[in-house]
Amino acid sequence: MLRVEDLRLDYGPVRVLRGISLRVRPGEIVALLGGNAAGKTTTLRALAGLARPRSGRILLAGRELAGLLPHERLKRGLAYCPAERQLFPEMSVLENLEMGSYIWGRRARRSFRMSLEPIYGLFPILAERARQRAGSLSGGEQKMLAIGRALLSRPQLLLLDEPSLGLAPVAARQLAQAIKVLNGQGLTIMLVEQNAPLALTIAHRAYLLERGRITLEGIDLLKEQEDAISR
């Protein structure tokens, strides 16, 4: 589904991504873990077309994404859900959701109500709060709204940046379960998290990012986590 090869990105003199290679297979949840400033958000922004790599390749379903604008990548099936400030707080929940189907033009907006059903099924609270200001929702509800809106672009691959950030443990676990349900419905997900234990409860594979480099991958990481828990 997604293949990233030797991605490098600098901010001025600062080397932020120092050659990142990773893969996400269809149907997987792949976690990208790492501490603060490791380059997780920058990686997602580069994938989404919001930050420009110096070199490297990004292939979605075998096709190179270089040179495509963010909305063109969205049309190819790549949706990005940022960690913060992703909503229009003064607009209603429903209006925020509607923005998600915007790229598909007028016809899609007509079928918008129908597309809402599965999203309301997953997050019933959004149906209850449809007329409310998005800014009045709790932190967890705002995350649900941001994810719901991303889903309305009908992605193949969803890039999620720290969905648990700022949430109470119960809300974070609920959101993780919802992400798992989405994946069970066929959505491929790349999940960026600082909260590794939480991410590893739902991820099929994981990469550890440290100072712009992948330092651990896959099964090793899950194994280390299990060992840490059993100790």
Per-residue burial over 92-108, b if 16 or more Cβ lie within 10 Å, else e, is bbbebbbebbbbbeeee
Backbone phi, then psi, for 193, in 5-degree steps? -150, 145
40 binds ligand ADP (CB under 6 A): yes
Backbone phi, then psi, for 17, in 5-degree steps? -115, 120
47 binds ligand ADP (CB under 6 A): no
Q: How far is the CB of 216 from ligand ADP (least distance, A)?
A: 15
Q: How far is the CB of 46 from Mg ion (least distance, A)?
A: 13
210 binds ligand ADP (CB under 6 A): no
Dmax (CA) for the chain in angstroms is 56
Sheet containing 55-60: order of strands: 14-24, 2-11, 55-60, 63-64
43 binds Mg ion (CB under 5 A): no
Specify whether the backbone of 192 is left (phi greater than 0), alpha (psi in -120 to 50) or beta: beta
41 binds ligand ADP (CB under 6 A): yes
142 binds Mg ion (CB under 5 A): no
From candidates 17, 34, 38, 41, binder to Mg ion by CB under 5 A: 41
Select the span of 25-33, 34-42, 110-118, 131-139 touching Mg ion (CB under 5 A): 34-42
**Can you say how many angstroms the Cα of residue 180 is from the centroid of all Cα atoms in its chain?**
13
| Other CB atoms within 10 A of residue 165 CB | 15
Select the span of 39-47, 136-144, 174-182, 223-231 touching Mg ion (CB under 5 A): 39-47
**Pairing of β 14-24 and β 78-81:** unpaired
**Torsional sign, CA 115, 103, 165, 227:** positive
From candidates 39, 140, 148, 155, binder to ligand ADP by CB under 6 A: 39
Q: How far is the CB of 41 from Mg ion (least distance, A)?
A: 3
16 binds ligand ADP (CB under 6 A): yes
Please give the size of the binding site for ligand ADP, defined by CB under 6 A: 11
Cβ-based nearer residue to ligand ADP, 38 or 152: 38
Cα 224 to Cα 215: distance, rounded to the nearest angstrom: 13
Which residue lies nearest Mg ion, judged by its C-beta?
41
137 binds ligand ADP (CB under 6 A): no
Interacting residue ranges for Mg ion, rule: CB under 5 A? 40-41
Interacting residue ranges for ligand ADP, rule: CB under 6 A? 11, 14, 16, 34, 36-42
